[in-house]
């Protein structure tokens, strides 16, 4: 299968896809979309993805796939080894729940377009947006995630035992960006232990923003 991935190096959702593809050993041609230059709003890209968001994945039949969590599950169903989502229904619920805590509740509140809107529409300065809004919702999100992981008692090396999966794919970019914004992550030792374990994996290393050709 020939794949093209439309990606931006610091995009959390693009980062997820890069990790998933690397974990599956699926080669792809990167197509870099500069968010600061607003290339995701260019007519050609919007025709590809009407939402004007990265990532987008195009296969050799010209089919376009969007929405990172749905894309990861699609890749897992079409290329089941090594798995990113367990086959057992209860285990699948757990991995999806962790993934959605991050992908549906934490990430949307701190997306760059939200931060930009807070500044442009309400006149908030960087201090109020980055140290106020961003830090507050990161703390709320990781506090809940830490408690959920501890309460479920299913963690090991990774979010689900010793098997790297979709939950970890979502966790890595979220922690990376929280660190980039200078958030205090010491109150979340379980999250950080898992994050540290993920950093040793070749797939995570290959997907890291600093290794991407469009990094600056």
- In angstroms, what is the C-alpha Rg of the chain? 17
Same domain for 100 and 77: no
For strands 64-65 and 29-32, give the pairing.
Answer: unpaired
- Place 89 in a pLDDT band, splitting at 50, 70 and 90: very high
pLDDT recorded at residue 77:
98
- Domain edge (last residue) among 45, 60, 82: 82
pLDDT at 46 over 90: yes
Q: Domain of 166?
A: 89-203
182: CB partners within 8 A, 6+ apart: 130, 131
Residue 211 resides in a domain? no
Looking at the domain assignment, is residue 208 inside a domain?
A: no
Give the domain-ending residue among 21, 54, 82: 82
Residues 186 and 95 in one domain: yes
Same domain, 98 and 72: no
Across the range 29-35, mean pLDDT stands at 98
Bridge partners (DSSP) of residue 161 are 155
Domain tally for the chain? 2
Neighbours of 198 (CB within 10 A): 21
Q: Is residue 142 very low, low, confident or very high in pLDDT (cuts 50, 70, 90)?
A: very high
Q: Indicate if 96 and 168 belong to the same structural domain.
A: yes
pLDDT digits (tens, 9 = 90+) for 120-139: 999 999 999 999 999 999 99
Identify whether residues 101 and 192 lie together within a single domain: yes
- Confidence class for position 106, pLDDT limits 50, 70, 90: very high
Same domain, 52 and 140: no
Mean pLDDT confidence for 165-180? 98
106 and 146 co-located in one domain: yes
- pLDDT of 1 higher than 80: no
Contact 76, 166 (CB under 8 A): yes
Burial class (CB in 10 A: 0-12, 13-18, 19+), 146: middle
Residues 93 and 199 in one domain: yes
Same domain for 106 and 51: no
């Amino acid at each position: 299968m020939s794949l093209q991935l439309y990606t931006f190096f610091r995009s959390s959702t693009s980062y997820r896809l890069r990790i998933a593809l690397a974990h599956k050993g699926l080669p792809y041609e990167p197509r870099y979309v500069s968010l600061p230059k607003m290339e995701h709003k260019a007519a050609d890209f919007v025709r590809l993805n009407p939402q004007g968001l990265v990532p987008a994945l195009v296969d050799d039949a010209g089919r376009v796939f969007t929405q990172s969590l749905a894309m990861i599950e699609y890749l897992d169903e079409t290329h089941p080894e090594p798995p990113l989502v367990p086959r057992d229904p209860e285990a699948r619920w757990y991995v999806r729940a962790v993934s959605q805590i991050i992908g549906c509740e934490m990430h949307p509140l701190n997306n760059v377009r939200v931060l930009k809107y807070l500044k442009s529409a309400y006149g908030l300065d960087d201090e109020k947006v980055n140290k106020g809004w961003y830090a507050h919702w990161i703390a709320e999100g990781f506090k809940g995630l830490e408690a959920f992981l501890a309460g479920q008692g299913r963690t090991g090396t990774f979010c689900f035992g010793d098997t790297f999966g979709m939950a970890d794919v979502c966790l890595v970019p979220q922690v990376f960006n929280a660190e980039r914004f200078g958030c205090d992550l010491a109150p979340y030792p379980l999250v950080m232990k898992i994050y540290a374990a993920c950093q040793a994996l070749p797939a995570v290393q290959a997907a890291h923003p600093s290794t991407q050709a469009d990094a600056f």
